[in-house]
Structure 1
Amino acid sequence: MATFEDFNFKLVVVEQLMYIDGTLTPRFHLADLLKERGITDSPWEYAQQHGLAYQVVPEARDHFTSLEISDELLAGVEVLCMDGGNQVYQECAPVWDGEDDLFDIASLDDLVLLPNLRRILGSEFLSPRLRQLLGARGIAAD
């Protein structure tokens, strides 16, 4: 199984595989996890009441950090989309407005895990240095 260096890059991959393609299952929903733990608050209320506004909820971070993604699924990724409205971000940080750097990608070292990646949508959210790296690897940055 692949090991990701950049948690935020992994989240973009999870968005594609779990919430768009539906190939990475089961779908994670923070509300379901909270209910399993006997917490009846909505994810938004839970984050607010525990001082987790504009932060990744620890339970979601733990889930996605330990989530294993097969090499076969990773090889199927050809396009990624970085958008503040991604479902994975709402599952991680239910009180987040997309106006800060909470989910900014700091490194593209994990590109080696996606041998067939051809395009990244929303690349304007990457630093100029990282966009240049994409171009050097022949990955379209839209």
Structure 2
Amino acid sequence: MFRDFNFKLVVVEKLMYQDEVLTPAFRFADVVPGGDAWQYAYDRGLAYQVQPEARAYFEALEISPELLATVDELLLDGGLQVYQECAPVWDGEDDLFDITSLADLALVPGLRRVVNSEFLGPELRAELTSRGIEAA
């Protein structure tokens, strides 16, 4: 359904962690032995990477068209909860979660505003505004 994994993650952030309508909320610590997500990532040499278990979960996660239609605003920020669940050892200083395509905009027909859109770069910001979406 989604073509850009990172775009899907910001949609999940809105629905799962902000609006709390996509449930249950995924917690990476709940799926690792001992519940220490940070240590788990370090011990496996996976610091600063999306954890395979989290990627598999979010890639497989289905979101109904009805829920997608409720998304009117997306927030781009390095401190999103979904990023912490995907990469518990990540400092926001690289392009790990950069959105590279807005091909999935049709999946969120009610989207009206993207906050911190400067993280998208000028081309993607221009694409937002050309579609009538506020690039705040």
Equivalent residue letter for 2:10: V
The equivalent of 1:22 in structure 2 is 20
Q: Tell me, what secondary structure is at the counterpart of 1:124?
A: helix
Q: Tell me, what secondary structure is at the counterpart of 1:80?
A: strand
Could you list the structure 1 runs, at least 4 aligned residues long, displaced by more than 4 angstroms after superposition: none
Partner Cα distance (1:26, 1:7) in 2: 20
The equivalent of 2:39 in structure 1 is 45
- Corresponding pairs, count: 136
Equivalent residue letter for 1:120: V
Q: Tell me, what secondary structure is at the counterpart of 2:34?
A: coil
Residue 100 (structure 1) shift? 0.3
The equivalent of 1:135 in structure 2 is 129
> 1:5 aligned to 2:3?
yes
Partner Cα distance (2:8, 2:30) in 1: 21
Q: Tell me, what secondary structure is at the counterpart of 1:40?
A: helix
Q: What is the CA deviation profile of residues 9-41 of structure 1, one whole-angstrom value per residue up to 9, with x for unaligned ones?
A: 00000000000000000000001111xxxx115
Partner Cα distance (2:28, 2:71) in 1: 24
Equivalent residue letter for 1:131: R
> 1:64 aligned to 2:62?
no
Partner Cα distance (2:73, 2:102) in 1: 15
Residue 107 (structure 1) shift? 0.2
The two structures have a TM-score, normalised by structure 1, of: 0.95
Partner Cα distance (2:38, 2:86) in 1: 11
The two structures have a TM-score, normalised by structure 2, of: 0.99
Could you tell me the percent identity over the aligned residues?
A: 65
Structure 1 spans left out of the alignment, 5+ residues: none
The equivalent of 1:91 in structure 2 is 85
